[in-house]
Amino acid sequence: MLQVSWLFNPTRGEITSLDSGNIDDILNNADVALVNFYADWCRFSQMLHPIFEEASNVIKEEYPDKNQVVFARVDCDQHSDIAQRYRISKYPTLKLFRNGMMMKREYRGQRSVTAIADYIRQQKSNPIREVQDLEEINTVDRSRRNIIGYFEQKDSDNYRTFERVANILHDDCVFLSAFGAISKAERFSGDNIIYKPPGENAPDMVYLGSLTNFDLIYAWTQDKCVPLVREITFENGEELTEEGLPFLILFHMKDDLESLEKFQQEVARQLISEKGTINFLHADCDKFRHPLLHIQKTPTDCPVIAIDSFRHMYVFPDFNDLSVPGKLKQFVLDLHSGKLHREFHHGPDPTDVAPGQSTDHHNEPNTCCYCSVFQPIQDVASSPPESSFQKLAPSEHRYTLLREKDEL
């Protein structure tokens, strides 16, 4: 019905076509831009076109200034350089930009006029809650990550920079602000930004750099708001799998915070140099029983550490060895070198076997390897159990996927 109304609607939506010559100028000058990366031959792209245009019509009536909200599109067949620049791996992909900066989270909601319009309204809403009394700061949710700015004036470069950062990271942190007389007690050395980490007794951390330097504030705030070890859920699983990095996952019971803290500490101590090559995650054992089953574990075995490469899953032999210096790092390095996969099929490398020791890997306490729960395989008997998390990746019933990654 929607498509019929689009065909006969005389006021077509004004969708800006982007190319190499105009993309930077248009996106840099837009407060918010939603860009549809599509291919004409893709049926999902064809289905989205009239919906996207109608959503643009609705939003343009509410935000008439052309730079407030921009709806744009990129024909990825015609402009493959742009598709490569933004790492487009499926059609259609809807990415959000703020003043030229691409947001990490793309739009993955329902493809309807109402849903897309509501999404843009949400992006245009103020991400910062203004407090009217400093007592409100004492009642913030300490299970969340809170960033609080104390400013003399709202109409200031300091606050505008803070606002830009909040617009980008509001999904990861709670942002609050106080002004004038209300904030005076916290401005003993001028305008101030602090971070309140999760935990009732966790000490505050103060930002010490320039309050007008966006890059510095953004880097500092991102470091506080986006933890090194993130929780994987069914809601964010698609987003995490699409980052294309293997998972190092701690499966733990929800109330087992001690194991989580230990894992976080060892990741920070041993694996900070591996950030960018693997995702550090933790998962609720009860919610993710299926991946545990694939590695022949149950919630009663938790805590369990495993790697999912999107083809195979490998189990860290013993959680109690987590704090052994270098043990966790070697586990990750062995994934990257192919050793984990090689040893599953052929036993320990000769250099790892003591003289006279058997090389029969079925009798050795080596790392266990299973097929990835997310990537089904043909020969179960000769391969590790399949990946579980690949099943959370973008669905072929919703997207045209360009290629499959060949993981270890």
**Is the Cβ–Cβ distance between 212 and 157 less than 8 Å?**
yes
Residue 376 or 171, more confident: 171
Looking at residue 384, what DSSP letter applies?
Answer: P
Q: Which two tokens stand for residue 74?
A: 């990129």
β partners of residue 33: 70, 97
Residue 67 or 214, more confident: 214
Instruction: Give CA angle at 216 (211, 220), nearest 5°.
Output: 100
Domain 230-346 has CATH 3.40.30.10: yes
Is residue 348 pLDDT above 80, yes or no?
Answer: no
Question: How far, in Å, CA of 344 to CA of 382, rounded?
Answer: 10
The structural domains of the chain, with segments of one domain joined by +, span: 16-124, 129-225, 230-346
Helix axes 157-169, 214-225, angle to 10 degrees: 40
- 3-class SS at 403? coil
Q: What number of residues does the chain have?
A: 408
Residue type (1 letter), 122: Q
Average pLDDT over residues 20-31: 95
pLDDT for the residue numbered 43: 92
How much of the chain exceeds pLDDT 90, in percent? Answer: 62
Q: Which two tokens stand for residue 376?
A: 């089904």
Residue 403: other Cβ atoms inside 10 A: 7
Cβ-based burial of 304 (10 A; exposed 0-12, middle 13-18, buried ≥19) = buried
- 3-class SS at 94? strand
Mean pLDDT score of the chain, rounded to an integer? 84
Question: How far, in Å, CA of 321 to CA of 390, rounded?
Answer: 28
Domain 16-124 has CATH 3.40.30.10: yes
Helices (H), 76-147: 80-85, 113-124
203 Ramachandran zone, left/alpha/beta (phi>0; psi -120 to 50): beta
Name which of 302, 292, 366 is nearest 330 in CA terms. Answer: 366
How much of the chain exceeds pLDDT 70, in percent? Answer: 81
pLDDT for the residue numbered 155: 96
Is residue 2 pLDDT above 50, yes or no?
Answer: no
For 228-274, the pLDDT digits (tens) are 899 998 888 888 887 778 999 999 999 999 999 999 999 999 999 99
Is residue 352 pLDDT above 70, yes or no?
Answer: no
Is residue 376 pLDDT above 50, yes or no?
Answer: no
Cβ-based burial of 336 (10 A; exposed 0-12, middle 13-18, buried ≥19) = middle
Domain 129-225 has CATH 3.30.930.10: no
Residue type (1 letter), 27: L
Place of tokens 């709670």: 174
Would 129-225 and 230-346 be classified into the same CATH topology?
yes
pLDDT for the residue numbered 340: 84
Residue 121: other Cβ atoms inside 10 A: 14
Is residue 396 pLDDT above 70, yes or no?
Answer: no
